[in-house]
Amino acid sequence: MNILLIDDDIVDSKSIQRSLNSTNNSESLTVVNTAEQALYLIEHDSFDVILLDYMMPKMNGIEMLLELKRRSWINKMAVVMISNEHSESIILKSIDAGAQDFLLKSEINAGQLKRALMQAQKRFELESKLIESYQKVKELAENDHLTGLYNRYYFGEALQRAIIANRTYKANLAVLQLDLDNFKNINDSFGHDIGNVLLQEIALRFKSVLQQNDLVARIGGDEFAFILTSFNSPLYIERHAQRILTLVNQPVIIEERCIHVTGSIGIALHPLNGQTVEDLMRYADIAMYRAKQLGKNKACLFEDNMEKDFQRKYRIEVDLRHACEHQELEMYYQPIVDTQSRHVVSCEALIRWPTAKLNTNPQEFMNIAEESRLIDSLGRWIIDTAIYQQTVISNKLGYTIKMAINLSPLQLRDPTLPTFIQKALEKYQAKGENIVFELTETALLGSDDLVRDSVNAIKTLNCLIALDDFGTGYSSISHLLTFPIDIVKLDKSLLDKVHVLPRYYHILKGLSSMLHQLRIAVVAEGVESAQQVAICSELDIERIQGYYFAKPTSHCRLFMLIQELTGLPTDLS
């Protein structure tokens, strides 16, 4: 045992040395008479136990302990305080400052000193283990085990400290919240192991751009947050956010796969946007969702009007969830008419929400359903209801009416969707050839194996595949060649422009001719006048859909509407 005795009283020091020598143990003793000498030795040597005199000149024992603690040396050795003065106050102060034991010099003998040294060392070892255990627990509580970054808990604590400092020093403070765009698609396509490696690589990139006093944390599955203080203006923060996005955009090679991902960033400033941890994180989150709405791979500073939009969106989501649970949504159907015979040949199933408290439309609330994952259950209810109504309508009419059902991009990424469709067809004894699934071109953009497999699996059920909104800006001929497309629905905007820009007539004519040569049926959407009907007839567009014939209507009124359009007798019972 390596012992350091610190005592300025020569008589007391000699007495303690004699007691140690009489124990006949292999202790190594070093003696100094000032705190300054002791600090020098501790810095350059290692000791197991320190015997520290309480009353010394310049620096007493308590002050010596506090200095050891300040230099983080107190955790390297056990300390026994010794004194000629018996005072409970001194004893408590010594223990609080870090000593393991306290001995009165007048009571020290060989046996007691030996026990005190051994017990002090044991207490020190136990305290060291407790400290080590605490540090491990603290690390687990504050760090994300996957990326090595701080976690949400630590981020909140650090942000609170930064806010307090910002109030004191009037410095700059920004919170950035980043969400990886469509990260679930990567997990679904390549597996969670690949997704985890991607998160680790991105975390390393984030660390590389941090400046002094800045901080980054992983606060969710694919969400990261930054505290930035080293800036002079919001413009700098926006530029820094763009640098972060550039880092995210760089491809990552994992197991010979080149993976691309983008991110969306929301920014909130203290004190401009918020005064508390909760407000800053909420406003950064709101701004991040605005960045996603603007097309993703963007950074947005929070603005006051964003909160109003966010609250509206949140209210719609809550109400929509209630509507789904209480069956308040309804299916409406819009007839699709044969251009030549004017007979109704199919219908498009469209969702409606008649009890909506806010003035919302299907496009808005279905987008919210997709973002909130309500589309998982709602989409299946739509499919089930539409397939059922196809059989009911066809049986009542006495001839087959096909039913068109819209599928969202998120639904196409569900590998269990084809099986669900198959079971619905079997349940209602419906034929796949009478069900059309409409996909938008945006759903097919950048499609991977999951989307491709879903489309092909649906096609194996003999269902028809329609490409919706063709001609709205994302049109790609390759989709017609790489996916089993049976029908193309020309977007309303093409037909609307024929009378404004005559060249659109030739565009429509060329598209119709090309699609027919590919043996793909053509439907014109948004037909609202007899003149547009005539144009479709001239261009050999065989199906038309629009308000000229009928607006979407409930299944109860649909029978009467089909009778009127088709000329069937009114009594179909």
pLDDT of 474? 59
Q: Are 521 and 338 in contact (CB under 8 A)?
A: no
Q: Which of 90, 120, 141 is a domain's end point?
A: 141
Q: Are residues 36 and 109 in the same domain?
A: yes
pLDDT value at 198 more than 60: yes
Contacts 24+ apart (CB under 8 A), 117-121: 117/1, 117/3, 117/27, 117/49, 117/80, 120/49, 120/78, 120/79, 120/80, 121/1, 121/48, 121/49, 121/78
Q: Do the domain assignments include residue 513? A: yes
Instruction: Please name the helix (run of DSSP H) or strand (run of DSSP E) that holds residue 488, with its range, or none.
Output: strand 487-490
Q: Are residues 271 and 362 in the same domain?
A: no
Question: Across residues 99-112, what is the average pLDDT?
Answer: 82
Q: Do the domain assignments include residue 182? A: yes
Q: Are residues 108 and 193 in the same domain?
A: no
Structure tokens at 549: 């014939």
Q: Which of 267, 283, 302 is a domain's end point?
A: 302
Q: What is the largest CA-CA distance in the chain?
A: 125
What confidence tens digit (pLDDT) does each residue in 466-503 have?
A: 999 887 665 567 888 889 999 999 989 889 888 878 88
359 against 473, higher pLDDT: 359
Q: Do the domain assignments include residue 364? A: yes
The proportion of the chain whose per-residue pLDDT surpasses 90, expressed as a percent, equals 50
Could you tell me the CATH number of the domain that includes residue 101? Answer: 3.40.50.2300
User: How would residue 134 be classed by pLDDT, with cut points 50, 70 and 90?
Assistant: low
Q: Are residues 296 and 355 in the same domain?
A: no
Q: Are residues 40 and 111 in the same domain?
A: yes
pLDDT of 137? 65
User: How would residue 573 be classed by pLDDT, with cut points 50, 70 and 90?
Assistant: very low
DSSP-H helix ranges across 294-440: 304-325, 362-371, 375-397, 409-412, 417-427
Number of domains in the chain: 3
Stretch among 31-40, 438-447, 551-560 having the lowest mean pLDDT: 438-447
pLDDT of 24? 60
Could you tell me the CATH number of the domain that includes residue 294? Answer: 3.30.70.270
Q: Are residues 433 and 530 in the same domain?
A: yes
User: What's the residue count for the chain?
Assistant: 573
For the CA atoms of 39, 45, 48, 53, the dihedral, rounded to the nearest 10 degrees, stands at -20
pLDDT of 570? 45
DSSP-H helix ranges across 487-545: 492-496, 503-517, 530-538
Domain range for 256: 152-302
pLDDT of 572? 41
Q: Do the domain assignments include residue 186? A: yes
Q: Are residues 281 and 345 in the same domain?
A: no
Alpha-carbon span 104 to 19, nearest angstrom: 14
Q: Are residues 195 and 319 in the same domain?
A: no
Q: Are residues 397 and 369 in the same domain?
A: yes
Alpha-carbon span 378 to 383, nearest angstrom: 9
Could you tell me the CATH number of the domain that includes residue 383? Answer: 3.20.20.450
Q: Are 256 and 195 in contact (CB under 8 A)?
A: no
User: How would residue 388 be classed by pLDDT, with cut points 50, 70 and 90?
Assistant: very high
Q: Do the domain assignments include residue 308? A: no
Alpha-carbon span 270 to 555, nearest angstrom: 54
Q: Do the domain assignments include residue 489? A: yes
Q: Do the domain assignments include residue 573? A: no
Q: Give the SS3 label for residue 545.
A: coil
Q: Do the domain assignments include residue 572? A: no
Q: Which of 302, 323, 346 is a domain's end point?
A: 302
What residues pair up with 350 in beta bridges, in sequence order?
332
CA–CA distances in Å: residue 319 to residues 196, 249, 371, 379? 35, 36, 15, 17
| Nearest CA-CA partner of 226 in 313, 180, 291, 158 | 158
Alpha-carbon span 143 to 165, nearest angstrom: 23
Question: What region does 251 belong to: left with phi over 0, alpha with psi -120 to 50, or beta?
Answer: beta
Q: Are residues 180 and 286 in the same domain?
A: yes
pLDDT of 26? 63
Question: Across residues 249-273, what is the average pLDDT?
Answer: 92
- Taking 3-state DSSP, the helix, strand and coil percentages for the chain, each rounded to the nearest 5, stand at 50, 20, 30
Question: Across residues 76-96, what is the average pLDDT?
Answer: 86
Q: Are residues 253 and 371 in the same domain?
A: no
pLDDT of 210? 85
Alpha-carbon span 417 to 186, nearest angstrom: 18
CA–CA distances in Å: residue 218 to residues 214, 215, 223, 224? 14, 10, 6, 4
Q: Are residues 353 and 501 in the same domain?
A: yes
